[in-house]
Structures are given as C-alpha cells and as structure tokens.
Amino acid sequence: MHRSSHHPLPVANRWRRLLIRFLGERGAATAVEVAMLAPVLILMIFGVIESGRALWVLNTIQRAAESTTRYAAVNSSATDSTLQTQAQTQAVGLNTSNYTVTITHDTTGGVNFVTVSVDYQFTVAVDIIGWGTIGLSGRSRAPFNN
C-alpha cells in the first residue's frame, strides 16, 4: 500500500479544529445570550428564596396562633396578657417588633370562644422588585371556658 506525502489530518485533529471553529464563531452570541438571561435567572432564584422565607414565617405565625388557642383551651384561667405572652414565645426566629397578637372573645350557641390573631410584617431581604413589606396573618379559634 502506497502512502502519499500529503497525509490527511488524523480524525481527532479534524474534530478539534471543527469544534474550535464552531465555538469561536458562537462566542459572542453566547456572551449576549448569557447577558440577557442572567438577570432573569437571578430574579427567579431570589424569588424562590424569598417565597420560601415568607412561607416559613407564615407557618411560624400560624403555629403560634394554634398553639396559643390550645393553651387557652387547656388553661381556662389564662388572661389575655398571658395568651399574648404565650403567642410571643412561639415566634421563634421572628423579629418581635414586627409581631402583633390580638386576643378576642365571642360566644356562639352558648359556647365561649377565644380567637388568637397573629399579624407579622414580613420584610423582603432582597427587594429587587419593590415589594418591601408584606403583611402576613395567622388565626385560630377554640372553645374557652372562663
């Protein structure tokens, strides 16, 4: 078998040159695509993080309201200030200056009820779209014998 003096490039070199040529021509387009999509991706990531934080706060204040109404149902001698203190102690990890507890009593069908309302002003940590503060509420109602 006779070989000519002009050898074709080995297959690996041909693929490498083709890949370099392809990537070299698309480098600028890729940079523009990344520049256009990066802000959207960052906004989505922070949106997911802030939504998760808001749901955690909402769960915490709802749990505080429910545990306080259970406390009231078991401790019939509890005063409103005792119930407010009980709800405040349930606010683990929350800024209590943004935390408001309201205790109300009502009677329906001859049964006394206590309602615990917990309101919290949730402040967005990374305020990219201008939401600032969002009001979140948790409420629970239980029979109360006083």
Going by pLDDT thresholds of 50, 70 and 90, the confidence category of residue 5 is low
Domain locations in the chain? 11-143
| Model confidence pLDDT, tens digit, residues 97-125 | 889 999 999 999 999 999 999 999 998 88
DSSP run (H or E) holding 112: strand 111-123
How many whole angstroms separate alpha carbon 119 and alpha carbon 127? Answer: 21
| Model confidence pLDDT, tens digit, residues 20-67 | 666 666 666 777 777 888 888 988 898 888 889 999 999 999 999 999
Q: SS3 of 133, please?
A: strand
Q: What is the largest CA-CA distance in the chain?
A: 110
Alpha helices (H) in 4-138, listed in sequence order: 11-74, 80-89
Q: Distances from the Cα of 16 to the Cαs of 7, 22, 24, 53, 97, in angstroms?
A: 17, 10, 12, 48, 63
